[in-house]
Structures are given as structure tokens and as C-alpha cells.
Structure 1
Amino acid sequence: MSAPIVVVGAGLAGAATAWRLAARGREVVLVEASTPANAGGSSHGSARIFRHAYPDPLYVGLAKRARAGWDELEASSGRPILTLTGGLDLGPGRDLGAVASALAVHGIRSALLSAAEARERWPYLAADSPVLHHAEAGVIDPTAAVEGMVALAQRHGAEVLLGERVDRVEHAAGGAVVHLRSGRALPASAVVIAAGAWLPELATALPSGVAARLPALEVTQQQVFHFPFPQQPRQPTDWPVFIWGDPMSVYSLPGGRDAGDVGFKIAEHDRGTPTTASGRDGLVDPGSRTRIVDVVRRLLPTVDATPYAEATCLYTRTANEDFVIDRVGPVVIASPCSGHGAKFAPVLGELIADAATGGGSVPDRFRLAADAA
């Protein structure tokens, strides 16, 4: 009998991989240094954006597959995961024509609204240029998603080890051995490293031939701010998610539990403070706060422009913001990151599972050779 596949990291990517592998009948051990969806990573809380609206058809297609996966996860876990609010793209920094064209390639409907039409539909939004709307966007609950995927993996027979840190991964006949700091050694036919922002710090624990292939990954501490709704939405579509560019890139979405269910989250996408997963200080950058307050005053003038809550989170970026999913010997490197990977988790689980089992479905752009080029 072959050894199990060991998945390191129980965030969205690792949990999705364990779920997909176990559902295929593969023997799986999921190893997590803390607890699933813990605050030390990038997969915790109540609110991440789901949207199809990319100018790149590759990501639109993946989002379409991910939407089917979110529906499957909700049905299988019995937990609400995705709330549809609709999504808006606006600002001169967003190429609305390219986004609309990419959506059309995959049959995703969108509507280009004039600024006046957008203001009439969402009176709190001070749009001064056209707005692209697509209805199939919304908010993912990442904690519920991770917990649901881990539970499904266990239902299919996966073993879950919590509070276990990886000391080193060594090559072995037929695969690898994962040595844990507790002293336990796990034989593996393949090892998936889905450690998010912790991946750069795990590099020294990997075989030298694998570590040498790792791409440059920048870990940054991002700032997020919560502001009160000017009026509590009566239904989810009253307050859609949005992406605004002029020229900085800003995203916003209803905050759910993270915001006490009375406000929305808004943050910069394209700026952050370099850090490490273990070295983050958790201090909010006052410059980011000032810039976001200015955006709120400009775009949402009826909102009280004083944040009532703020926090930090971690991004792990590649140079081109594409994902990294590839196998080197028995080790699969999975870094579907760059601040936009959460929405794709169900399909990422499929792609990473394919990489671990020798499937060929991973897009060439995500492979290490593509990143190196």
C-alpha cells in the first residue's frame, strides 16, 4: 500500500486540497501548526470577496469553476459559505472593457452603467465615471469554508494533526518523509506545502533541490478598516462588493462578523509593509488609514469616515500576482496567493490535488518554470 499524501497547512488552499484528495479516495494526512483558519495566516475571519471580474479570461474561467465548487461545499457541508451581493468595478484605474470582454468569454453577464445610473441604484456611491456590474459576485466566509472543507476531508477518511509543526522534509524511497517537531515521522507518497505566508520560512525545511526552485515571494502586512453602513442594508444586494482604481487599487465588501455585522471592510490591495509571517507586528500603518479615509470621503460621502475597527492581515505575493502550483520530485509547492486567491479555493484544491497525483490540469502559468521565466 502506498504512503498517504501529506498536506501541510490548513488554510483555504490546504483544506481544499485535503478535501479534494480525500474525496477521490486518497489517503491524506493534513498537518496544521495551529488550528484551521487561525489568525496567524490569511484564511481567517468572515469576509473575502468572490467575483469573476478579471480582465484575464484565465482567472474568469477559474472563478466560474470555483463558484460551482462553493455551491458544492455548501451542499455537502450544510453550512452557508457564499452570500451573493453583486460586484462593481469602477475608477479610471480599472479597464472595464477588458473585464467585460473576459467575462463574456465565459458567459458571465455584466452591465456597464453610467455614473448617473450607478448613483441611482446605489445612492451612497458617488460614482463619477461608468461602473461595471456583475450579479454573480459576493462574500465568502473563509472560517466556515475552511472548517467545512476540513470536516469533509475527515468524513472521507483524512487524518488531521493540529498543533504540529514541520521540522524538515526528506526524500525517501517512493516519496518523502515529513519529520514533525514532536518527533513523529510521516511517510508520504507526496507532500503538499500549502503554508501561505509561512512558505518562505519553511524553505529551509525542504529538500535543497526544492528550496532552490522556490520563486521570490514577498510577504506584506496589509491594513484593513471597517466603517459603518450609512443605513443597514435590507438585503445583500443593497451593498455590493467593489474594486476601485484611481490609480491605487482599493477593495471593499460587507464585513460580516468581522465588522459586527454593522459595517463594511475596505482596504488597499497594492500597498503593504514587508514582513514575515512570524515577524509581523500587527500595527496598523497610519498612512494607509489616511489614504483609506480619503477614499471613503470621496466615494462614499454619506458614510461616517471614522473607522470603528481596524486590523492587519498577510499577503504573499509573486512578482506578477499569478499563483504558484507545481511539483518538484515528491513535493508540491502551492502558493495561490497575491491577495486574490481566497475566492478560488475549491478549484485550487482540485488543481493542487492533480499536481500531487500526477494530473496535468495545472495551467502552465502557475508552474515554476513559468514563474522563473
Structure 2
Amino acid sequence: MDCDVVVVGAGLTGSSAAWQLAVRGLSVTLLEARTIGHTDGSSHGTSRIYRRAYADPHYIQLTGQAQELWDELEDRSGTRLRTRTGGLDHGTERRPEALLTLMKEHGVPAELLTPGAASERFAGMEFAGPVLFHPDAGHLDADRTVRAGVDIAAASGARVVEQSPVTGIEQPADGVLVHTGDRTIRAGHVVVAAGPWLPELLPSIGVLPRLPRTWVTQQQVFHFRHRDPRAAWPTMVYKEGIQLFGLPSGADGGSTPAMKVAQHDGGTATTASGRDRVIDPASRETVTSWVRRWLPGLDPEPVAEASCLYTMTADEDFVIDRIGSVVIASPCSGHGAKFAPLVGSLVADLVEGGRADPRFAFRA
């Protein structure tokens, strides 16, 4: 064997899996088709929502487990990766009252605010109904998180190879063969953490029973400058007719304070290799109109905009399971970033013979 495990993809999932595997004493080769930190996939940028508010108790529980591993990653790397701002959830379909009940049942601090109280506390934001506030929410830096995972993996003995796209994976009687353009690596296991390239790479692996259908959509994000540059806003999730989210932009929005606001739903079907990066004018109009109505503290003309990729499943659950010596890891559907260190741990458990979380197991 050339190594114990090959990890394909050095985004949030692959980098987290690599450091978890390496610190457990396994020999790891981490393959990245491009360069570490590239902007073509779903793991780049300085601003992703970090929150614990979910309408699903399973994910609330997982956010607690992830929080402990975020602490470990920050301690090991010596880098602050998360910024707590508090978070808001509102809109009739977001059901703030029901969320409050779930949060209390799981011991997560939260409170329900009236529209007036929320607007008074968060000047520049307006609301039409009850608002859930939970102080543990904030945002995380995806770029720094990827770099932290890669650096810890390398310091623990992992071999990191950039510009090395995988062209095929075979499962002989013992272990796997991972083919790239210029080499074949024999390993005990392979972790496929290819993000939006997963649907394109799957045919090279062969038939995987019960693997759910996955597809890729191109989404748009928009950055709006604060009218008051001293304003400090929480993150937010809104669901009523449309699904929107917002959070501080970080460096993604430029040199002056801004908020990133985007639709979670919608999007245009595409592929990781075939995306056009053209911003959908209908999405821009939807988001800017919403900002103009409900966020008067922002200038409603975007100062920056970009496209991003979602890898979707029909039930919006992740896919983290194994068949033979191949582990597939796709914490997808637009809400996986906050779980990155936990996903790395779940992947390492599978490599070491553990069982998949039933919610994330292969399924039709």
C-alpha cells in the first residue's frame, strides 16, 4: 500500500477528513484537483452562517457535537475561525415559536421577540411577525477553515498533492486504486469529498447501491453596504414564500462593512464543470427588493455579487456512508459548512469501521 487513505478533494469536507484521519495515526494522501483554497467549488469565502437553529432535532443535536470539534480545530490551528453575532429566524414558514420550543428542549439558549422589540434591538432591520433570537449563531471563515485542516493534516504526516484531478477509482480485492493523470495510488480506503464534482466523478467509481440522486445548482449571493458603518448585525434566516439568509460579508463584500444576502431556494441546474457564473437578474431583483423592504439599514444596491454552487439531495440530508473501501462524503444542500469538523470525524469513523448515521446513509 502507498498509504492508508486517499482523500479526494481539499475543500471543507476533505480538509476536515484529512486532519481527523491524520491525527488518528493513519497515513493520508490528500488530492486536490486545483490548488488549496480555489474559488471554483463550494468551500471558499470568508463568510458562512454558523447557527444552531434547526426545525429538525437531529441537526440541532449535531450542531452541538460540531461545536466541540470547532473548538478543537481552533485550538489545534491557533486560528479563530468563528465569529459569534447572534442569529435571527423569522417568517411564517420559519415558525419561530416552534423553533423556540425545540431549542429549549435541547438546552440551546434562545428567546422570542415581538416585531417591535426586534426592530428596536437591531436598528435598520424590520419584521412583520415574531422573531427567534439565539446568541450562539454567527459566521465562520471557510478559507481559514480549509487552510487550518490542511495544515494540521500535513503537520500530522499527511501528503498534500495539488493539481491532481482523479480520473478513476477501482476496488480490487484488497483496498482501492485511485487513478490520477500521472499516477495510480494504492490505498486501503478512499474518501470521495469532491463537492459539486461528485455527480461527475461517481460514474468512475462504478455502481453504488442506494446512492441518492444528487444534482448541482448555481446560486447567487449579493453584498449590501451598511448605511451606518458602525452597525453590527446578527445573522438571519427568513422563510415565507421565499427562503433567504443574511450574514456579515467579511472580506467577500469588500473593504467596508456589508451584509451578504442570498436566496437559499431556487437556483439554476448546472454542473461544476459547466457553470457559467452569470448572475440571474431575477434572483438579483428578488433579493434587492427584499432588502429594500425589510433591511432599510442597508444600501439596496449590491456592492458585490457572485455565484456559488449547491450540491443537492431531494431530502436535503447529507450523504456520508461507505461501500467496501470507498467512503462518499457530501454534506450538501447548502447547509453543510457549519458541520465541517464533525463531518471529518464521521468520515474518519467510517474509515475505521464505524457505521453511518442512518440519516446520512446511502438511500434511494
Q: TM-score range by the shorter chain?
A: over 0.9
Aligned twin of 1:214:
211
Deviation at 1:213, TM superposition (A): 4.2
Conserved? CA contact 1:259–1:265, under 8 Å = yes
Decide which of 242, 245, 249 is 2:243's aligned counterpart.
Answer: 249
Q: Counterparts in 2 of 1:56-75, with a 5 A limit?
A: 56-75=56-75
The answer to whether the Cα contact below 8 Å between 1:324 and 1:366 also exists between their aligned partners in 2 is yes
List aligned pairs for 1:184-203, cutoff 5 A: 184-203=183-202
Encode CA deviations 1:248-289: one digit per residue, 9 max, x unaligned: 100000000001142110000011000000000000000000
- Output one character per residue of 1:220-268: Cα deviation in whole Å (capped at 9) or x when no partner: 000000100121236xxx3100001121100000000001142110000
Q: Does 1:367 align with 2:361?
A: yes
Give me the whole-angstrom Cα distance separating, in 1, the residues matched to 2:250 and 2:2. Answer: 44
Question: SS state of the match for residue 88, structure 2?
Answer: strand
Instruction: Confirm whether residue 348 of structure 1 aligns to residue 311 of structure 2.
Output: no
Stretches of 4+ aligned residues off by more than 2 angstroms:
none
- Give the distance between the partners of 1:242 and 1:233, measured in 2 at CA: 19
Q: What is the aligned partner in structure 2 of residue 312 from structure 1?
A: 307
Distance 1:130 1:74 in 2: 35
Question: Are the aligned partners of 1:91 and 1:245 in contact in 2 as well (CA < 8 Å)?
Answer: yes
Q: Which moved more, 1:251-260 or 1:1-10?
A: 1-10
In the TM superposition, residue 102 of structure 1 has moved relative to its aligned partner by: 2.4
* Structure-2 separation of matches of 1:224 and 1:181: 34
- Measure how far apart 1:71 and its partner are: 1.6
Q: Give 1:227's aligned residue.
A: 224
Residues 7 and 191 in structure 1, CA contact (< 8 A), matched pair in contact too: yes
Q: CA deviation at 1:26?
A: 1.0
Q: Structure 2 counterpart of 1:201, which letter? A: E
Alpha-carbon distance between aligned partners in 2 of 1:269 and 1:58, rounded to the nearest angstrom: 20
**Where in structure 1 are there 5+ consecutive unaligned residues?**
none
Letter in 2 for 1:250: L
Assess if the C-alpha contact under 8 Å between 2:2 and 2:186 holds in 1: no
1:327 is matched with which residue?
322
Deviation at 1:297, TM superposition (A): 1.1
Cα distance in 2 for partners of 1:307, 1:331 equals: 43
Cα contact 2:228–2:297 (8 A) shared by 1: no
> Which position in structure 1 is the counterpart of 2:51?
51
Q: State the one-letter code of the partner of 1:263.
A: A
**How far is 1:72 from its partner?**
1.4
CA contact (8 A) 2:226 2:297 kept: no
Structure-1 residue corresponding to 2:291: 296
Task: Give the drift of 1:339.
Answer: 0.3
Q: Report the residue type matching 1:221 in the other structure.
A: Q
The question of whether the paired residues in 2 share the 8 Å contact of 1:93 and 1:249 is answered with: no
Rounded Cα–Cα distance in structure 2 between residues aligned with 1:102 and 1:179: 46
Q: Counterparts of 1:216 and 1:97 in 2: how far apart (Å)?
A: 33
Query: For the aligned residues, what is the CA RMSD?
Result: 1.3
Give the secondary-structure state (helix, strand or coil) at the position aligned to 1:127: coil
Instruction: Give matches, 1:95-106, under 5 Å.
Output: 95-106=95-106
Whole-angstrom CA distance in 1 between matches of 2:222 and 2:283 = 9
Q: Give the match for residue 38 of structure 2.
A: 38
Tell me which residue corresponds to 1:9.
Answer: 9
Q: Decide which moves more: 61-70 or 14-23.
A: 61-70
Q: CA deviation at 1:173?
A: 3.1
Q: Are 2:2 and 2:185, in contact at CA under 8 Å, matched by a contact in 1? A: no
State the AA in 2 paired with 1:114. T
1:201 Cα deviation (Å)?
Answer: 0.6
Instruction: Work out the CA distance in 2 between the residues paired with 1:39 and 1:101.
Output: 39
Q: Does the residue aligned with 1:118 lie in a helix, a strand or coil?
A: helix
State the 1:2 CA deviation.
8.5
In the alignment, the residues of structure 2 paired with residue 75 and residue 311 of structure 1 have an alpha-carbon distance, to the nearest angstrom, of: 32
Separation (CA, whole Å) in 1 of partners of 2:298 and 2:309: 27
Preserved contact between residue 89 and residue 96 of structure 2 (Cα < 8 Å): yes
- Could you tell me how far apart the structure 2 residues matched to 1:346 and 1:101 are? 27
Query: What amino acid does structure 1 have at the position aligned with 2:61?
Result: G
- Per-residue deviation, residues 173-220 of structure 1 (Å, max 9, x unmatched): 3211101112x11111111100000000101221x233x543211200
What TM-score, normalized to structure 1? 0.95
Identity of aligned residues (%): 48
Aligned length: 363
After TM superposition, the score normalised by the length of structure 2 is 0.97
Cα offset for 1:106? Answer: 2.3
